[in-house]
Amino acid sequence: MGVIGSGVGGLAIAIRMATKGYQVTVFEKNDHPGGKLSQIKAKGYRFDTGPSLFTLPELVDELEDYAGEKKSQQLPYKKLDIICKYFYQNGKTINAYTDPERFAQECKKQVGENPDRIRTHLKKVEILYKQTANIFLFNSLHRIKNYFRWEVLKAVLRFDRVNLFSTMHNENQKRFTTPEVIQLFDRYATYNGSSPFMAPATLNVIGHLENNIGAYFPTQGMYAIAEHLHQLAVSKGVDFQFNKLVKRIVIENKQAKAIETDSGIHTFDIICSDTDVSYLADNMLQHPLEKRLKRMQPSSSALIFYWGVKKEFPELELHNIIFSNNYRSEFDAYFNKKTIYHDPSVYIFISSKMVKEDAPPGRENWFVMVNAPTTDGQNWDELIKETRKNIVKKINNRFNVKIENFIEYEEIGSPLTIEANTLSKGGALYGHSGNSKFATILRHPNFLRSIKNLYFVGGSVHPGGGIPLCLASAKIVDKEIPGNL
C-alpha cells in the first residue's frame, strides 16, 4: 500500500494497514512526519506549531492497542484540571474546569449564569454525541448498508434533536442567559474552522468532548503524538520516504495503480491519500473529483506568532482566550470580508506551563493565535503587521504589561506558510468549514465508486478535521480494506 502524506491520518492508516499485514510505504514531502502537527525548536524554546488541544485521547490508545503496543510504552498524557481560561473585555474571567459541576459553579460565580442551564446543556450534548458519534464519526456515510442499522434509524426518527436547522449561536442564546457563557460555547464552532453564526447547532456536540469527557495534554507536548505514531509505524515495518513530493496518482482503467514522484513511478495495489482533498483534486489527479468540492467553503485558517517570552505570567494557564468584544463582526470578517478582524479573539497556548523543558527557566513559550481567512489575494505582509499591533495592544491592556519588551524570539505562521508546509489549499486548518446545514455530514467520502483502490484519510475528508477525526477517518478506511493480503 502507498500512503501519501504523514499527517495524523496518514500515520494512523499506515499503522493500521501494516498491522493487518500490508507492506506500507509513506511518501512525505517534508523531512519529518506530522503534517500540521509539527514543532519549532529555537533559542532554548520548543513550540508546537499546529494543534494544541488534545481531546478523545482514547482514539490514540485504541490505535496503539490495535497495533499491539504494550500499555507501558503508549503515549503518556494527562487530563487537564482547567481546560481553558477565558478573559472578557469587561474584565471578567472564567476558568473552564474539566469537572462539569465545578465549571457550572464557576460560571455562576464569575458571570452569574444559572448552573442548571450549564448542567442541562452538558446533558443535551452528551445525549447528542451518544446518538450521533457512532453513525457520523466512526462509519462511512457513503455506504448504503450503513443506513439500514437500527442505530441509524433511531437517530433519523429523532432528527429534530440533532438541531440541524438552527445555528450554534441561536441555540446557545436560547440555552444561556449571560453573553460570556454564550460566547464561550459559541467558540466551539472554531474547532472545525466554522462560524457559530452559520454552523448548525449540531456542532454544539463538540463541547461534549471537552466539557464532559475532558481535555488532555501529552506529557511531552503535542508533537509527541506525531513522533510516537511515527515510531509505532516504523516498528510495524512501515517504510517512510521523506522529502518525496507525490506529483500524481496514476489511474488506469478506473483503478489507482501508482504514485509518481521525482524518483519515478511506484506501483501499489492500494493507495491512500492524506493530502488535502482540494489540493489533490487541483494538482494530483487527472480525474474529476466531486464537483461539489469547488463550491464548498474552506474552513478558517490561522495567524500564529510563536514568541519566546522572557517573563512568567502566573495569571495564564496552558490554554487561554482573550475574547473579542464583537464575535459576530469577528466571524463576518473571516468568512465574508476575508480579512482579520481589528479586535480578534486571541488564543494563547503556553506548553511550558506543563512541559518545563519547552522554555528556559523564568521564561515561557507563547503560541499566540488568531483566526484568519484562507488565502484569497490578501496583502498578508500588511495584514500580519496590523494584526500583530492589535494583538500586542490587547495583551498589554489586559495584563498591564508591555509584552513587546519581553519577546526575545519570534516566528510567524500564516495561511501562506500553512499552505506551503502542508499543501492544505489556502492554508485551511480543517479542509472545509461546517458553515452550512449539511457541510459537516457531507464531507468528501473516504473512497470513490469511480476509482477503485483509492482511499482518503485526514482532516479534509469524512468525518472531519482535528486529530480525533483524522484518527477516525483511518479507522473507517481500515474497515473498507480487507485484511490479511
Ligand X SMILES: Cc1cc2nc3c(=O)[nH]c(=O)nc-3n(C[C@H](O)[C@H](O)[C@H](O)COP(=O)(O)OP(=O)(O)OC[C@H]3O[C@@H](n4cnc5c(N)ncnc54)[C@H](O)[C@@H]3O)c2cc1C
Instruction: Please identify, among the stretches 168-176, 324-332, 338-346, 420-428, the one whose residues bind ligand X according to the rule CB under 6 A.
Output: 420-428
Kindly list the strands in the beta sheet with 248-252, ordered across the sheet, starting from the edge strand earlier in the chain. Answer: 248-252, 255-261, 264-267
Spatial separation of the C-alpha atoms in residues 348 and 328, rounded to whole Å: 21
Instruction: Please identify, among the stretches 128-136, 231-239, 423-431, 438-446, the one whose residues bind ligand X according to the rule CB under 6 A.
Output: 423-431
Q: How far is the CB of 400 from ligand X (least distance, A)?
A: 28
For ligand X, the binding residues in 358-377 under the rule CB under 6 A are: none
Which lies closer to ligand X via its Cβ, residue 200 or residue 465? 465
Could you count the other beta carbons within 10 Å of the beta carbon of residue 485? 12
Q: Which of 36, 124, 425, 432 binds ligand X (CB under 6 A)?
A: 36
Q: How far is the CB of 208 from ligand X (least distance, A)?
A: 15
Q: How far is the CB of 338 from ligand X (least distance, A)?
A: 18
Contact between 424 and ligand X per CB under 6 A: yes
Spatial separation of the C-alpha atoms in residues 44 and 361, rounded to whole Å: 10
Q: How far is the CB of 466 from ligand X (least distance, A)?
A: 3
Instruction: Please identify, among the stretches 146-154, 271-279, 391-399, 402-410, the one whose residues bind ligand X according to the rule CB under 6 A.
Output: 271-279
Reduce the secondary structure of 447-470 to three states and give it as a string: ECCCCECEEECCCCECCCCCHHHH
Contact between 429 and ligand X per CB under 6 A: yes
On whether the CB atoms of residues 409 and 43 are closer than 8 A, the answer is: yes
Contact between 458 and ligand X per CB under 6 A: yes
Contact between 14 and ligand X per CB under 6 A: no
Which lies closer to ligand X via its Cβ, residue 111 or residue 322? 322
On whether the CB atoms of residues 331 and 313 are closer than 8 A, the answer is: no
Contact between 465 and ligand X per CB under 6 A: yes
Per-residue x/- track, 285-304, ligand X (CB under 6 A): -----------------x-x
Spatial separation of the C-alpha atoms in residues 383 and 403, rounded to whole Å: 20
Q: Which of 19, 28, 186, 378 binds ligand X (CB under 6 A)?
A: 28
Spatial separation of the C-alpha atoms in residues 106 and 98, rounded to whole Å: 11
Burial class (CB in 10 A: 0-12, 13-18, 19+), 417: middle
Q: Which of 3, 340, 467, 472 binds ligand X (CB under 6 A)?
A: 467
Q: Name the nearest CA neighbour of 137 among 212, 186, 209, 225.
A: 209
In order of 29, 198, 294, the CA distances from 297 in angstroms are: 26, 12, 8
> Can you say how many angstroms the Cα of residue 175 is from the centroid of all Cα atoms in its chain?
26
Per-residue x/- track, 207-246, ligand X (CB under 6 A): --------------------------------------xx
Q: Which amino acid is residue 185, in one-letter code?
A: F
What residue ranges bind ligand X (CB under 6 A)?
4-10, 27-30, 35-37, 50-53, 245-246, 274-276, 284, 302, 304, 418, 422-424, 429-430, 458-459, 465-467, 470
